Structure 1
Amino acid sequence: MPLVGSLLFCKDCGNLLARKPSTTSTIHCHICDASNNNIWPTYVVTQSKPGAFPSSLENKRSAGGIQEIDWAAAADTWPTTSQPCPECNHPEMFFREMQLRSADEGSTVFYRCAKCSHMYKADN
């Protein structure tokens, strides 16, 4: 059979034939000069299983490679800075810097007040 999936091969020599519009009834093989019926499908329906295209992110999640962080609990271990809290004006805050946006943009700094635990972020 010259049609395999969505590929059409010459019935005489097996050469892969160039696609022609459905209005053209025959396709001429440029290798063996055979005339082949134009039986290209006008559309192709494909189906795939959910696992056919694995996601590296999904694989990391299922393997436990991605962990959610409890920011409030972990903030006590962050370094401190002498920036005043906008809520209580306490002179010291914990901070954590992370690259959340694309690499060519600045980082995001998370702050937590050492006194009132007010949290906010600033984009650099």
Structure 2
Amino acid sequence: MMFCPECKGMLVPVGGKLKCRKCGYIEEATADKSVLKRTEKRDEKEIVIIEDAEQMATLPTIAVRCPECGHDIAEWWLRQLRSADESEVRFFRCVKCRHTWREYD
């Protein structure tokens, strides 16, 4: 980054020159100074399509026993269901049988 020699503000590129936003100081942009690099080519990123959204793991997991099947791993999340001065409700979903239950504090 380049800084203004007068007020120490940051110089930004404007029309091939460097200009201070604070005091208006203008300096010629030279090749030896590092300024923004303009490229015309855009690198394309690979797009991954997920066929089954249910298979995608997006929630954190915890070791807790499912009351339905007894499996000991479940996904969990929090929701504020009651008024703001009351605690949140913790939901669990078994990763094996997909049974969902809640726990209050």
Check whether TM > 0.5. Answer: no
Q: TM-score, normalised by structure 1?
A: 0.38
Greater strand percent: which structure?
A: 2
Whose helix proportion is higher, 1 or 2?
1
Instruction: Give the number of the structure whose alpha-carbon radius of gyration is greater.
Output: 1
- Normalised to the residue count of structure 2, the TM-score between the two structures is 0.45
